[in-house]
Amino acid sequence: MKSQRVEFLKQSDIRRMTRECTRLDGINLGQGICDLPSPPSILEEASKAVLADKSVYSKFEGIDALREALADKLTRYNGLTQVNPDSDIIVTAGATGAFIATLQGLFNPGDEIIVFEPSYGYHINAMRVAGVEASTIALTGPDWKFSAEDLEGARTENTRAILINTPGNPSGKVFSREELTVVADFCKKHDLIAITDEIYEYIIYDGREHISLASLPGMYERTVTISGFSKTFSITGWRLGYAVAPPALSEAIGLVNDLFYICAPTPLQHGVAAGMTRIGDDYYEEMSRDFEKKRDLICGALSDAGLTPNVPQGAYYVLADISSLGCADAKAGAMHLLEKIGVASVPGSAFFSESSETQLTRFCYAKDWATLEEVARRLKSLNA
Ligand code: GLN
């Protein structure tokens, strides 16, 4: 049985490929699990908080110490100087929880949000459960460029917002200042809200800069900035994220967060708040450099195997063209790779709402070096 609201929902290909990978005992470059070691300071501080029995509900918007640490980080890293930690930050059950609370708090059934594709499928499905339609703009790699005309073409009288995911999953696109300025002008012209998912904000390559849309002139008041700690600290299972917005938007987000979740896990909030103060900028820089080298390794191995990669500019996924495998579609291609060389990926069709014609598949390289080197060897064997 399924309610009408979720009638269309199926298990995501991200989850399905993890199960297939376990069944076939493969290496999982499908789901963005990120099983790299977490910073010891974060683990130590969370353990201390658990042992100190910091076990009860926090405020629905999160503990003060974490919101204060975040306000500081948002000023320094994201250029959001006007964040009031008392009213503008809601700590949530992962970035996903922040997105759900934003949708439920700010949008009505029938509203439309513009989304660039390829896109993270959970975004569009969460919108559909909320009765919100996606108006999609399909981009093509490796640059995933768009124009002001594309934005105008996607807008209807029901359009209320635009969703920006930078660095993007699965494309690895990093929006430049010029592109974000086009988005900002569009939002201001048509009085739209912007929702940004910046969960990969610290994973950025080739000297690029992460730019938060809310830092552009006139954008803070109309933007919900979403991020979290999953990817930055390799704590994807802790489910800790946050939304940042001015009070006119954050009030409803906070009310829904209370209603749906009460609060994010309290001892883990303490762990991250205290741990963050022990982590210097070098941690983030080193993480980015390490992922950049891993990107180069995996992209090189994919190229050599004839699976042309769309070289990512950030995040830790790569979309590769698998048409040389001669499979009917991306789903068949991803399964072929898993069966033949024991490497799981996610078929690119999972990231487009309409076309399932794509021959792209997504590999996640948030893995240790030994695993990636083994993947490179296995990719090489495809040509043998
Ligand atoms: N964001 C991660 C991905 O894209 C994990 C999400 C999930 O497990 N659904 O793979």
Whole-angstrom CA distances from 196 to 21, 99, 161, 168, 213 are 31, 9, 10, 10, 7
DSSP calls for 126-141: HHHHTTPEEEEEE--T
What proportion of the chain, given as a percentage, has pLDDT over 90?
97
Give the residue extent of every domain in the chain: 13-31+282-383, 40-276
Q: Is 31 in the pocket of ligand 1 (CB under 6 A)?
A: yes
Q: What is the pLDDT of residue 8?
A: 93
Q: Would you state the structure tokens that stand for residue 257, as one six-digit string?
A: 């967060």
Instruction: List pLDDT tens digits, range 229-272.
Output: 999 999 999 999 999 999 999 999 999 999 999 999 999 999 99
Q: Would you state the structure tokens that stand for residue 208, as one six-digit string?
A: 């690029």
Q: Quick check: 146 pLDDT over 90?
A: yes
Measured distance between the N- and C-terminal CA atoms of the chain, rounded to whole angstroms? 48
Whole-angstrom CA distances from 81 to 216, 220, 227 are 11, 10, 17
* Beta-bridge partners for 90: 243
Instruction: List pLDDT tens digits, range 175-198.
Output: 999 999 999 999 999 999 999 999
Confidence of residue 343 (pLDDT cuts 50, 70, 90): very high
d(CA 123, CA 343): 26
Q: Is 169 in the pocket of ligand 1 (CB under 6 A)?
A: yes
Which of 13, 16, 122, 362 best tests ligand 1's pocket when mutated (most atoms within 8 Å of CB)? 122
Cα of 23 to ligand 1 centre, how many Å? 19
Q: Quick check: 48 pLDDT over 80?
A: yes
Q: Is 14 in the pocket of ligand 1 (CB under 6 A)?
A: yes
Q: Is 165 in the pocket of ligand 1 (CB under 6 A)?
A: no
Q: What is the pLDDT of residue 369?
A: 97
Q: Which amino acid is at 81?
A: T
Return the residue whose CA atom lies nearest to atom 4 of ligand 1. 32
Q: Which amino acid is at 263?
A: C
Q: Quick check: 384 pLDDT over 80?
A: no
Q: Which atom of ligand 1 is nearest to the CA of 120?
A: 4
Q: What is the pLDDT of residue 362?
A: 98
Q: Which atom of ligand 1 is nearest to the CA of 169?
A: 4
Q: Which atom of ligand 1 is nearest to the CA of 364?
A: 10
Contacts of 157 (CB under 8 A, 6+ apart): none
Is residue 30 within 8 A of residue 14, CB to CB? The reply is: yes
DSSP calls for 231-297: TTTT-TTT--EEEE--HHHHHHHHHHHHHHHSSS-HHHHHHHHHHHHT--HHHHHHHHHHHHHHHHH
Q: Kindly report the CATH class assigned to 13-31+282-383.
A: alpha beta
Arithmetic mean of pLDDT, 364-383? 96
Q: Under the phi-then-psi rule, with left for phi > 0, alpha for psi from -120 to 50, and beta for the rest, what region is 288?
A: alpha
Q: Which atom of ligand 1 is nearest to the CA of 230?
A: 1
Cα of 53 to ligand 1 centre, how many Å? 31
Cα dihedral 238, 43, 204, 347 sign = negative
Largest CA distance in the chain: 60
Arithmetic mean of pLDDT, 321-340? 96
d(CA 353, CA 11): 15
For residue 29, give the DSSP letter: -
What proportion of the chain, given as a percentage, has pLDDT over 70?
99
Q: Is 32 in the pocket of ligand 1 (CB under 6 A)?
A: yes
Arithmetic mean of pLDDT, 339-349? 97
Q: Which amino acid is at 335?
A: M
Long-range contacts of 127-131 (CB under 8 A, 24+ apart): 127/103, 128/8, 129/5, 129/6, 129/9, 130/100, 130/103, 130/104, 131/5
Is residue 201 within 8 A of residue 241, CB to CB? The reply is: no
d(CA 309, CA 142): 8
Is residue 196 within 8 A of residue 190, CB to CB? The reply is: no
Cα of 206 to ligand 1 centre, how many Å? 24
Long-range contacts of 335-338 (CB under 8 A, 24+ apart): 335/20, 337/361, 338/17, 338/20, 338/21, 338/24, 338/26
Q: Do domains 13-31+282-383 and 40-276 have the same CATH topology?
A: no
Cα of 132 to ligand 1 centre, how many Å? 21
Which of 96, 120, 199 best tests ligand 1's pocket when mutated (most atoms within 8 Å of CB)? 120
Cα of 221 to ligand 1 centre, how many Å? 29
Cα of 376 to ligand 1 centre, how many Å? 22
Return the residue whose CA atom lies nearest to atom 3 of ligand 1. 32
Cα of 73 to ligand 1 centre, how many Å? 25
DSSP calls for 38-97: PPHHHHHHHHHHHHTT--S---TT--HHHHHHHHHHHHHTT--TT--TTTSEEEESHHHH
Arithmetic mean of pLDDT, 61-90? 98
Arithmetic mean of pLDDT, 298-308? 97
Q: What is the pLDDT of residue 355?
A: 65
Confidence of residue 356 (pLDDT cuts 50, 70, 90): low
Write down the mean pLDDT value for the chain.
97
**Degrees, nearest 5: CA angle 345-348-354:** 150
| Overall fold of domain 40-276 | Aspartate Aminotransferase; domain 2 (3.40.640)
Q: What is the pLDDT of residue 109?
A: 97
For residue 191, give the DSSP letter: T
Is residue 17 within 8 A of residue 344, CB to CB? The reply is: yes
